[in-house]
Structure 1
Amino acid sequence: MLAYIGLGSNLNRPKEQIKNALITLNSTKDVKVVGLSSLYQSKPIDDLKQPDYINAICQVDTHLTALELLYVCQGIETKQHRVREKKWGARTIDLDIIIYGVKVIASKQLIVPHLQMINRAFVLVPLAELEPNFKVPVLGHIQDLIAKLDITKLIKL
């Protein structure tokens, strides 16, 4: 199964946090990182007073179920000292399953495609870098989704 995972960090050397998460993800049994977007710098959501984020999207080939992949991602966040104090707060690392094949999942633990992806240039632009003609399940063509967003503040590094 091909899945796309969003990575973001704005604490403790964000580029290193993303690199470490990718290394751990790739070394996980039944998960292979097969694609990686460029890094992008973005402002915090709602202009919260915190450092800018570094974001990327990776493509993984996995034999794990979506929930198993979620648990792997959460384990990596814990290993890298992610603290969940407040919604959209600063973080060492954030891993979100954005897409899991063509599946639509709506459970208490996981919603895929990611609910907020259509509002986030830092998700859609790197995803389009990997898959420029991608059709997001239920939501539509990636280029149409990007056209609805202001991407001027997103900086490709």
Structure 2
Amino acid sequence: MHQVYLSLGSNMGDRQGNLQKAQTLLEQHPQINVIKVSGDYQTSPVGGVIQDDFINQAMHIETSLDPYELLEYIHQVESQLHRKRLIHWGPRTIDIDILFFDKVLMPDPKLTIPHAEVFNRLFVLVPLVEIIDADFYQFEKVQKAIEHLESNTDQSIERVK
């Protein structure tokens, strides 16, 4: 089974409800097993688009799906939760990103693993560090990135659940 870490976020409608629905849909797939889910964090948006704050969380799953099959299912989940891809980095009912997939390095334009922005976003890293173990192959890099971003950016993050 592949070890995969996801980032989930929502800033439209019932944000926490959207995250819970996404988790339920992921759990319903016969080839996905949800191992651990972080708490929920209210975070400021990044990317320059004026919009409401997000609720974000991280999730550790095991799956026998390959990266592209998992991405396809994630897109189905986003579609079921009425995700519209209208504005890059804009508001969305749900956003699910593959952060890490085993130790795979995949620089494909359709799917980059590790996620291209993983080490630049507090809303990804803070929930992630909550669910990874110290022996996770990127643990130290995650911790150092959090320290750097907390002192060098205006990204806000607050645990809400």
Report deviation, 1:141: 2.4
Report deviation, 1:150: 2.1
Which residue does 2:60 correspond to in 1? 59
Q: For the structure 1 residues 95 and 32, does the alpha-carbon distance in structure 2 shift closer, same or farther, using more than 3 Å as the test?
A: same
Q: Note if contact 2:119-2:142 (Cα within 8 Å) is conserved in structure 1.
A: no
Q: Note if contact 2:4-2:100 (Cα within 8 Å) is conserved in structure 1.
A: yes
Alignment of 1:105 with 2:94, yes or no, is no
Which residue does 1:141 correspond to in 2? 141
SS at match of 2:36: strand
Structure 1: stretches of 5+ with no match in the other structure = none
Which residue does 2:158 correspond to in 1? 155
CA RMSD of the aligned region, Å? Answer: 1.6
Structure 2: stretches of 5+ with no match in the other structure = none
Moved over 4 A (4+): none
Report deviation, 1:47: 4.9
Q: Note if contact 1:105-1:111 (Cα within 8 Å) is conserved in structure 2.
A: yes
Which residue does 1:21 correspond to in 2? 22
1:28-39 correspondence runs (5 A): 28-39=29-40
State TM-score, norm by structure 2.
Answer: 0.91
Q: Using the alignment, how far apart are the partners of 1:131 and 1:43 within structure 2?
A: 23
AA aligned to 1:49 is I
Q: Note if contact 1:132-1:142 (Cα within 8 Å) is conserved in structure 2.
A: no
Report deviation, 1:135: 2.9
AA aligned to 1:143 is Q
State TM-score, norm by structure 1.
Answer: 0.93
Report deviation, 1:107: 1.3
How many residue pairs align between the two structures?
155
Q: Using the alignment, how far apart are the partners of 1:124 and 1:132 within structure 2?
A: 13
